Amino acid sequence: MIAVITGDIINSENSNSEIWLDSLKKILMNWGKTPEKWEVYRGDEFQIKCDIDEVFKIFLAIKSLIKCNESLDVRMAIGIGEENFSSEKITESNGSAYVNSGRLLNDIKSDGKTLAIKTPKDSVDQDLNIVFKWSSIDFDSWTPAVAEIIHIFIMNSGITQEDIAKKLNITQSSVSQRLKRANLDLITETDKYFRKKIAEL
């Protein structure tokens, strides 16, 4: 099984794409080459194929990157399933992972959600989507300052608060306060719970 994230940038029509597009493409390069592994299309939509154990980290990385811009947010649908055909372009590949992700994005657009998951197992979907509803209350309310610090933390494994403080030229106590506002402990617990539930598939 593989994971596919299909997403779109919220409020992109009211912002200059130069603000976020290059940054989004740059971060997606961390997980493979375009257009086989990921692609940005229709101006503000994107899709990325990844390993199941990486998908929650990738979601957090993209979410925190986009939330660094005060006027923007991002909606993402995670599909987990099979890949029946792998094309040179991800948008031409197919299988249940792609179908689950693409259809789910349309559903959450109408529901006003920003994150949901569809797997081959309904009980896993039910449990994870309840967790995502609660977690998204925090994720969606990240300020640019909090999003920036979460993004650095996610993208730099093993980085210390002191390292982040030097990088941002702020005090270590400011880093600690921002991480607390971002509910870093909740993010870590959610990641562990996500991995536990996915292991049931």
- Give the helix ranges, DSSP H, for the chain: 21-28, 55-67, 96-111, 122-139, 144-155, 161-168, 172-181, 184-198
Dig out the tokens for 23 from the structure: 């940054």
How far apart CA 163 and CA 194 sit, in angstroms, is: 28
Show the CA angle centred on residue 65, arms to residues 49 and 47, nearest 5°.
20
The residue to which tokens 């049931």 are assigned: 200
| CATH number of residue 167's parent domain | 3.30.70.270
Domains in the chain: how many in total?
1
Please report how the helices 172-181 and 144-155 are oriented relative to each other, as an axis angle in degrees rounded to 10.
100
- CA 1 vs. chain centroid, Å, equals 19
The one-letter amino acid at 34:
T
Dig out the tokens for 95 from the structure: 């299988």
The domain in which residue 72 lies consists of 2-199
The residue to which tokens 């599909």 are assigned: 79
List per-residue pLDDT tens for the chain, 201 residues long: 999 999 999 999 888 888 899 999 999 999 999 999 999 998 899 999 999 999 999 999 999 999 999 899 999 999 999 999 999 999 999 999 999 999 999 999 988 899 999 999 999 999 999 999 999 999 999 999 999 999 999 999 889 999 999 999 999 999 998 888 888 888 999 999 999 999 999
Q: What is the pLDDT of residue 127?
A: 96
- CA quadruple 158, 164, 166, 171: dihedral sign: negative
Q: What is the pLDDT of residue 13?
A: 86
Full-model pTM: 0.94
Q: What is the pLDDT of residue 9?
A: 96
Q: Which helix (H) or strand (E) holds 6?
A: strand 2-10
